Amino acid sequence: MIISDNLKMYVQKLRSSNLRPTKQRLKICQFLFDRKKTFHFTVETLNKKINKNGAIKISLATIYNTVEAFTSAGYLKEILTSKNKSYYDTNIKSHHHFYDEGSKELTDIHYSQIKLSKVPVPPKGKKIKNLEVVIRIQK
C-alpha cells in the first residue's frame, strides 16, 4: 500500500461521515491508521506524537475535536478505564482489555478469550450498550 492510496481512502472515509478532509484530519488519519497493528492512546500521547517533528503543527483543541469526531464516526473506540483520562483504541472490534494500574497501559484481550456464561438481564426499559471487560492488573 502506498501512502497516496491511503490518503484517497481517508478522504473518502471522511467525506462519507460528513467530515471535510482537512490537512489536520488527514495527518491524524495517517498517524492513527497507516500501520499494521492497532493501538491505544490518550489525547496527551497523541498530541505529543503528532506534533513531534511534523511539518504542520496541530493544535490541542483540534486533536480533541478530531478524536471526538472520529469516535462519533466509529473510527475509534473510547475505552473507559481510568478515572482521570480517556483512552482511545484504533481497534474498533468488540474486545476486552487488561489495564495495568502501574504503567497505566491497556492490552487487548481477544473477544473469544473471555467467556461470560451468565449475564444478568438489564433493568426494564434499558438495554446493554457494551459488555467489554476491563481486567485490572498490577505487579
For Mn ion, the nearest residue by Cβ is 84
Which residue among 39, 49, 54, 60 contacts DNA (CB under 7 A)?
60
Distance CA 20, CA 11 (A): 8
With contacts defined by CB under 8 A, name the span among 1-9, 43-51, 63-71, 111-119 that binds its own copies.
111-119
Is 66 near DNA (CB under 7 A)?
yes
Residues 47, 88 contacting (CB under 8 angstroms): no
Binding-site ranges for Zn ion (CB under 5 A): 89, 91, 108
Q: Does 129 bind its own copies (CB under 8 A)?
A: yes
**Size of site (CB under 5 A) for Mn ion:** 1
Which residues are within 8 A (CB) of 46 and not within 5 positions of it... i.e. 6 or more apart? 28, 31, 63, 67, 88
Separation CA 121–CA 128 (nearest Å): 9
Do residues 98 and 78 touch, judged by C-beta distance below 8 A? Answer: no
Judged by the rule CB under 8 A, the positions of this chain that interact with its own copies are 78, 80-86, 98, 100-101, 107, 109, 113-120, 122-123, 125-131, 133-139
